[in-house]
């Protein structure tokens, strides 16, 4: 149990009559303890284009704290106690920090790191821990580089691209102008959009690369440069319905809306953005979930928070259902077909056994709202509509 919980308990003591307190059916034996760690590997990055998107200090950690609170509340009735050690590392210290956590006997590690680091740390953990990938979105991680000891709560590039593609096809906007950045992650995301276009019958009528030369930001006169350069960059494109941007490092996409040569909408990394979570979602009981998080963290919930919350809620749900704290039993149950977890997205979330990706709806978000949620009703699937998003069983390159 985290320290702030003790404060909550004290506050409760103040108002709860003894009769009510006495009920807390604390089992006689010491509670079963389920330990986990959240390891965040921070790589130095330029600040985001918009200062509204500055990453908070506790990004990812705050979601984990909420999950531990939720698990502990249930744990009071089950005789179970949950804790998660929070570690912020650099690419240089990540390996030694992981070793230290494993040395302390921690068997569940939530990782917030880039793709390459995620694979390296998963290999380092080996059969000593179950790793939850709560940040990296590359399809290779779920494909040729997949690892049996990794569960992905972050959606993949393919899931995000497919979620957006379904909506665009529903809108009858099949002609796409794809602009991608020059970083490896941008190229991987662009590939996911090409795949989505083929899968759902869209056409990429033009493709351009926006090279990251470290150029203008909106400070000082940067916006003048943007206003002059982006129309030029986007002119003379064949007729298109919508521009798709693939910009994982936030270099240019944020500037794109209203700066295209043609009067066209922008989607992908800006405009209509596919996400695992959005702080304006209200449906499916999300309001109280957002309230709980905002009260705990004093800020809106980010995707990283949702994904680390999901990871630790999976552990908590497994402990509740199996009535066990044994890491092997919890892992086996999470990977079994009987496992499901609720995630405020209107349906149960389950694991794909072929690549350990958590199935989940994808929110299509504008700045302030959730505009739509995919899968769109029109796309059917023999197993689960959620499997219309991302890499399906027959296509997987993953072998454990």
Partner 1 sequence: MRHAFAILLLTTIATPALANKVYVSNEKGNDVTVIDGDTLEVLGSYPVGNRPRGITISPDGKELYVCASDDNLVRVFDPETMQELHTLPSGPDPELFVLHPSGNPLYIANEDDNLVTVVDTKTHKVLAEIPVGVEPEGMGVSPDGRVVINTSETTNMAHFIDTESFEITANVLVDSRPRFAQFSDDGSRLFVSSEIGGTVSVIDPATQEITKKITFEIPGVLPEAIQPVGVRVTADGKKIFVALGPANRVAVVDGDSLEVTDYILVGQRVWQLGFTPDQKHLYTTNGNSNDVTVIDVATNTAVKSIPVGQQPWGVVVAPN
31 binds partner 1 (CB under 8 A): no
Q: Which is nearer to partner 1, 182 or 320 (CB)?
A: 320
Contacts of 5 (CB under 8 A, 6+ apart): 69, 72
Longest CA–CA separation in the chain, Å: 76
Q: Give the relative orientation of helices 3-15 and 61-78 as an angle to the nearest 10 degrees.
A: 50
Q: Candidates 36-44, 68-76, 191-199, 231-239 — which segment interacts with partner 1 by CB under 8 A?
A: 68-76
Q: Candidates 148-156, 208-216, 259-267, 283-291 — which segment interacts with partner 1 by CB under 8 A?
A: 283-291
Owner of token pair 């989607």: 267
Q: How far is the CB of 67 from partner 1 (least distance, A)?
A: 10
How is residue 65 written in tokens?
């704290």
Q: Candidates 52-60, 70-78, 233-241, 392-400 — which segment interacts with partner 1 by CB under 8 A?
A: 70-78
Contact positions with partner 1 (CB under 8 A) in 293-352: 295, 320-321, 340-342, 346-348
Contacts of 71 (CB under 8 A, 6+ apart): 34, 80, 82, 312, 313, 315, 316, 319
Q: Which is nearer to partner 1, 269 or 388 (CB)?
A: 388
Contacts of 156 (CB under 8 A, 6+ apart): 137, 138, 139, 141, 142, 192, 357, 390, 391
Q: Which is nearer to partner 1, 21 or 224 (CB)?
A: 21
Q: According to CB under 8 A, which one of 50, 90, 93, 288 is a site residue for partner 1?
A: 288
Alpha carbon distance 242, 239 (integer Å): 9
5 binds partner 1 (CB under 8 A): no
Contact positions with partner 1 (CB under 8 A) in 87-146: none
73 binds partner 1 (CB under 8 A): yes
Alpha carbon distance 74, 69 (integer Å): 9
Closest CA to 188 of 247, 235, 240: 247
Residues touching partner 1, count (CB under 8 A) = 31
Residues contributing to the site for partner 1 (CB under 8 A): 12, 15-17, 19-20, 22-25, 70, 73-74, 76-77, 285, 288, 291-292, 295, 320-321, 340-342, 346-348, 377, 384-385
């Amino acid at each position: 149990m985290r320290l702030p919980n003790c404060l909550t308990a004290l506050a409760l003591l103040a108002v709860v009559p003894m009769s009510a307190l006495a009920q807390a059916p604390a089992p006689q034996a010491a509670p079963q303890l389920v330990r986990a760690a959240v390891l965040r590997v921070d790589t130095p990055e330029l600040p985001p284009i918009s200062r509204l998107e500055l990453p908070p200090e506790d990004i990812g950690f705050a979601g984990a704290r909420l999950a531990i609170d939720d698990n502990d509340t249930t744990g009071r009735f089950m005789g179970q106690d949950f804790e998660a050690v929070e570690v912020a590392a650099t690419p240089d210290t990540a390996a030694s920090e992981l070793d230290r956590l494993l040395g302390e006997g921690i068997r569940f590690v939530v990782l917030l790191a880039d793709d390459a680091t995620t694979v390296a740390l998963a290999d380092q953990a080996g059969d000593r821990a179950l790793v939850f990938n709560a940040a990296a979105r590359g399809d290779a991680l779920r494909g040729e580089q997949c690892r049996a000891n990794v569960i992905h709560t972050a959606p993949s590039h393919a899931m995000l691209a497919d979620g957006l593609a379904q909506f665009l096809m529903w809108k009858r906007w099949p002609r796409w102008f794809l602009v991608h950045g020059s970083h490896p992650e941008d190229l991987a995301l662009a590939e996911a959009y090409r795949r989505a276009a083929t899968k759902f019958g869209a056409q990429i009528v033009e493709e351009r690369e926006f090279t990251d030369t470290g150029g203008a930001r909106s400070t000082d006169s940067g916006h003048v440069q943007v206003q002059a350069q982006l129309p030029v960059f986007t002119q003379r494109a064949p007729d298109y319905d919508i521009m798709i941007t693939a910009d994982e490092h936030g270099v240019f996409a944020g500037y794109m809306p209203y700066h295209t040569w043609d009067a066209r909408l922008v989607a992908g990394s800006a405009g209509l953005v596919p996400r695992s979570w959005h702080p304006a979602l209200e449906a499916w009981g999300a309001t109280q979930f957002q309230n709980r998080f905002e009260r705990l963290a004093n800020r809106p919930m980010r995707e990283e928070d949702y994904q680390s919350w999901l990871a630790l809620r999976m552990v908590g749900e497994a402990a509740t259902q199996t009535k066990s704290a044994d890491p092997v039993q919890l892992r086996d149950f999470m990977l079994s077909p009987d496992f499901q977890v609720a995630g405020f997205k209107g349906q149960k979330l389950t694991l794909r056994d072929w690549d350990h990706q958590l199935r989940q709806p994808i929110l299509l978000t504008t700045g302030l709202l959730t505009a739509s949620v995919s899968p769109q009703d029109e796309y059917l699937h023999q197993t689960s509509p959620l499997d219309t998003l991302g890499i399906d069983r027959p296509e997987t390159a993953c072998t454990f």
